[in-house]
Structure 1
Amino acid sequence: MPKPSVAELRPVVHPDGVKDRRSGEHWAGRMYMREISLHCDPYLVNTRITPNQLTYLMIVAGILAGAALLVPGLIGAVLGAVLIQLYLLLDCVDGEVARWRKQTSITGVYLDRVGHYLSEAALLVGAGMRAADLFHKDGGGTHWEWAFIGTLAALGAILIKAETDLVDVARARSGLPAVKDEAAAPRSSGLALARKAAAALKFHRLVGGVEASLMILVAGIADYIHGDLLFTRIAVAALAAIALLQTLLHLVSVLASSRLR
């Protein structure tokens, strides 16, 4: 079977609206990764690799990104960031291959969501373990409190996603259709203003896999220059604070909107 061209693939794997989804498309996907994935698709669509197998590879890449942070020094932070980019690439490719082959499925959507939960949690736990200094670079013992703080950040990241996904669960169990984007607007004008301010600052994005990996990489570079783990610990503390605050704010946002009506 001849390999399809990028021009043939584009209208099928990137249908109108894919890059414009309010909450379903990452900024990195819109900026560059969708174009990279589009040029990878011709080498995959005629192989025996299934879309779900690509999703499994995405999950493995995400979990390995968290494990890579246990590698001491700057190389661990670099590996973590690179593996998260691979995770993002596979996250784009699996759906594109599924659309080309007309093999989209509920199982694929489910695995994709599980992958995001596991991968982002693994990255934040890995960051906490890195900050704990398992190899005692600072001359002291392992600082397990940092591993706990990283785990709190991971828990917050998972809860934020769960709060969003559970809206659909609650609606489905109540016999209601899927929520529309306009229902996300808070009914209170004060909360609407606060939501706009939070959206403008975009601080909540920092606990996402791509953003967190880049933050940890920058901290790793600063640590390499400074000679300790000070900046990684600052990053882990900030990520935990943001994740826990966003968990609360997102819950209030859901309850104050029309998503559950």
Structure 2
Amino acid sequence: MSTPSKPSVAELRPVVHPQGIKDRRSGEHWAGRLYMREISLRWTRHLVNGRLSPNQLTGLMVLAGMAAGAVLLLPGVPGALAAALLIQLYLLLDCVDGEVARWRGETSVTGVYLDRIGHYLAEAALLAGFGLRAADVFGSDGGGPQWLWAFLGTVAALGAVLIKAETDLVDVARLRGGLAAAGEESATPRSSGLALARRAAAALKFHRLVGGVEASLLILAVAALDRLAGGTSPLFFTRLGVAVLAAIAVVQTALHLVSILASSRLR
């Protein structure tokens, strides 16, 4: 029995990257638009005739994301670099699972659900791992763990989950109320003042720092700064980073909720 030939990138692209997929404001990460969708095509062509199902690829995505949080327990730059690389693998698999599903015609509600759960788990694990890293649970600086930083990492993780939940629950509320899912155009606040605030926040993009890719790059940057600074407080920049992400998560959770309530998404 002959083995099915691998499709070319040119054959794959119109099927797995349908028109508009890279233009989704809330559904496509900037890294996907910038480089990962092109990389994923090269991986997808080797996987479409393989044994792994789209949902199994999603499972691998979740494992990569959660592993990124776990490796942050490794001290110094190596642990932070490993986490950043695992988040890139997580992002790659997040692209590949949907591309394989579209090529095979195996898209499903279950796949969408698992994908969303995966995003919740991976980003929460990364931020919680960052907090444990800042707490220095193994006492690498000569002292005992400082659990305040683990608490702040948990706050950041909870905020990241709540922000995603606030978005997802819009469609839950609409469907239970007999309405269709909300389109992106309904996200515009009715108040001109809130609309201006929303545009300003979007321009600054500070809220993205609690996302997996951005947070992993920040974690790597502060690990490098700690390495360069040395001194009596080897985790100063790491702890500063945890505090900043916790503050952003709390503020963004509240602002995102207000933005949804002030928009037409629930009407």
Give the distance between the partners of 1:148 and 1:88, measured in 2 at CA: 27
Residue correspondence of structure 1 range 112-127 to structure 2 within 5 A: 112-127=115-130
1:19 partner SS? helix
Name the CA distance, whole Å, in 1 between partners of 2:6 and 2:204: 44
In the aligned structure 2, how far is the partner of 1:126 from the partner of 1:101?
Answer: 36
- Secondary structure of 2:18 counterpart: coil
**1:42: Cα distance to partner?**
1.2
State which drifts further: 218-227 or 147-156.
218-227
Alignment pair present for 1:180 and 2:186: no
2:217 paired residue number: 214
TM superposition shift of 1:179? 0.6
Q: How does 1:236-255 map to 2 (within 5 A)?
A: 236-255=242-261
Corresponding residue number in structure 1 for 2:54: 51
Q: Equivalent residue for 2:266? A: 260
* One of 155, 164, 168 as aligned partner of 2:167: 164
Say yes or no: does 1:235 pair with 2:241.
yes
Distance 2:186 2:13 in 1: 31
Following superposition, which runs of at least 4 residues in structure 1 exceed 3 angstroms of deviation? none
Residue 195 in structure 1 maps to residue 198 in structure 2:
yes
2:9 is equivalent to residue 6 of structure 1? yes
Q: Does 1:94 align with 2:97?
A: yes
Alignment partner of 1:15 out of 8, 13, 18? 18
- CA-atom RMSD, angstroms? 0.6
Task: Encode CA deviations 1:3-58: one digit per residue, 9 max, x unaligned.
Answer: 11111001101110010001000000000000000011111000111000000000
Runs of 5+ consecutive residues of structure 2 not aligned to the other structure: none
The one-letter code of the counterpart of 2:241 is: A
> Counterparts of 1:22-61 in structure 2 under 5 Å?
22-61=25-64
CA distance in 2, matches of 1:180, 1:87: 27
- When the two structures are superposed, what TM-score results if normalisation uses the length of structure 2? 0.97
Residues 171 and 260 of structure 1 are in contact (CA less than 8 Å); yes or no, is this contact kept in structure 2?
yes
Superposed displacement of residue 135, structure 1: 2.1
Percentage identity across aligned positions? 73
Structure 1 gaps, min length 5: none
Instruction: Map 1:104-115 onto structure 2 (within 5 A).
Output: 104-115=107-118
Letter in 2 for 1:177: A
Partner of 1:83: 86
CA contact (8 A) 1:72 1:135 kept: no
TM-score by length of 1: 0.99
- Give 1:140 deviation, angstroms: 1.5
What amino acid maps onto 1:257 in structure 2? S
Between the aligned partners of 2:21 and 2:206, the Cα distance in structure 1 is 24
SS of alignment partner, residue 49 of structure 2: coil
| Other-structure match for 2:156 | 153
CA distance in structure 2 between the partners assigned to 1:180 and 1:159 by the alignment: 20
Aligned partner letter, 2:262: A
Q: Number of residues paired by the alignment? A: 261
Which letter maps to 1:153?
A: A
Deviation at 1:137, TM superposition (A): 2.4
Q: Does 1:142 align with 2:142?
A: no
Q: CA deviation at 1:148?
A: 0.4
Q: Could you tell me how far 1:138 is from its partner in structure 2? A: 2.2
Amino acid at match of 1:238: V
Q: 2: CA distance between counterparts of 1:168 and 1:49?
A: 30
Supply the AA of the counterpart residue of 1:234: L
Query: 1:106-129: CA deviations, max 9, x gaps?
Result: 000000000000000000000000
